[in-house]
A and B are shown apart, each in its own frame.
Chain A
Amino acid sequence: MRTRTEILAALGVDGGSGRSLPEQLCVACTTTLGLDGAGIALMTDAGHQGVLGTYGEVATRLEDLQYELGEGPSVDASRRNGPALHAELTAGEMSLWPGFGPAAWAAGVRAVFALPLQVGAVRLGSLCLYRSTAGHLDEDGTATALAYADAALAVLLFLHAQVSPGSALHPTLREPLDYRAEVHQATGFLSVQASVGLTEALLLLRAHAFASDRSLVEVARDVLAGRTRIPFVSTEREDD
């Protein structure tokens, strides 16, 4: 088992790789726990806000997909303020995540474990572990995974402490948001156009991106440029 202190101490040593601290943590976590990849996502009460760091090709793709769809284990873990542990991807997972589930299966993932990064009720992110073999983490593995989540949270707070006080964001934390700035702009834009709230506006964008098989940020750019009109009138909310 590794402790949070050991994990953080090891991160400092890996100076020359050019990887950000969150990426280094994903690498270490993947190696130590014998995974196929890992990812750290930024979360707020409004949901997924971007991918902070990943390791492994499949994890990178699936972390992006969780953002695109607004669904998946990382989103669940953050929303419920507790771990989302899926030792075996079954039909249950396929219906739980209609978009993410089949994509994860097709990419060869058989188990996913997502842990929330939070302090009290303050949600900041999720650490998600991807493995190509089914099966539970053993006791030692679970303790180590939790220690990595603790360490990931410490990294987030450490990064923020570098710029705090004030409302500035550390470049590492700002970059994933900046990359998707248009998504938020298009959300605001659509909320006026469709006279709906921001949450629904984002749902409309996501639905359109999914239906047209394009990324959220591409659709957002098109909406802002007037190249795409979202047929919001026809979209009824089903969750009322």
Chain B
Amino acid sequence: MSDNKKRSAKEIIQGYSGPKLRIMEVCGTHTHEIFRLGVRNILPENIELISGPGCPVCVTPVGFIDEAVYLAEKHNCTITTFGDLIRVPGTEKSLAGARSEGARVLPVYTPTDACRYAIDHPDEQVVFLAVGFETTTPSACMAVKMAAENGLDNFSILTANKTMTNAYRTLKGSADAFLYPGHVNAITGADSCARLVDEGIYGVVAGFTAKEILAALAVTVVKLQEGKPFFRNCYPRVVTDEGSIPGKRMMEEVMEPCDSEWRGLGVIPQSGLRLREEYAAYDARKKYDLPEIKGRPNPACRCGDVLQGKCTPADCKVFGKGCTPLHPIGACMVSNEGTCAAWYAYRKETIDE
């Protein structure tokens, strides 16, 4: 039964013969799964999937890595981070580079583990690198609250947290429809994207299994063909209309909106989050009075254009040549979820090495 359905989702997609459709996924895990499953290799030519700015590593500006390296080297801080960020190139070096020169850099599974590490190591100053969207941000808020409850003076976070809604507005013209990131919507709710229909922004909330991705694509194709404004929650087993009310409350309590720089896209107003004044003691920028650090990305790198669907990785001069997963130049090559890394890893088309 379900096998028939799976084929029929695939059939709907493969049977499409209308004008060109541009569908943007805005979640790194979607990008990763779409490549891992080979979804692009079964699409007809007139459906283009664009990998948008949905991988937190890829949209984190170079200057953020520079700030982390600065804290590790100048203030001897122990940097705790999701493993994803360790190899991202900064202006001078990555955190992996700093670590090889003696800096303490520890990958953690969750921000509260970083806080627990600080409790267990009172003689170290511990900084957690808080990246991620609404899915991940509540966990960073939990770590800050945990630090406050334990009266810690050796724990802080360096924020680069981002929110998606204004990014959709910025990217509105880049695609006909979005595959919304299901796990962001698990927190923010399906309604947060349903409301965008009035602004002419369309899409579906998508899950992450093969069946979910194909079903979401099939729905998108059918809805686009109908030519009417649309929104559909294709991930109802996880995403409710209102999302996680405790999650939203927690972010609201600990953080406040701010303008935020997205690598390659520039500053998007009110698209970031920073700690509220009452948690200033846990804000690494304030605690260490960080100078303004302007990162200098490699000028040949076209990560920004790739993220907006203005070009494919293959159009970038350094892709696969200077820039490879082992020696990344741009952030999109670093994370396994990055568009360039996924292209490099999974594309059957031969890459000139």
Are A and B interaction partners? no
A residues touching B (Cβ–Cβ < 8 Å)? Answer: none
B residues touching A (Cβ–Cβ < 8 Å)? Answer: none
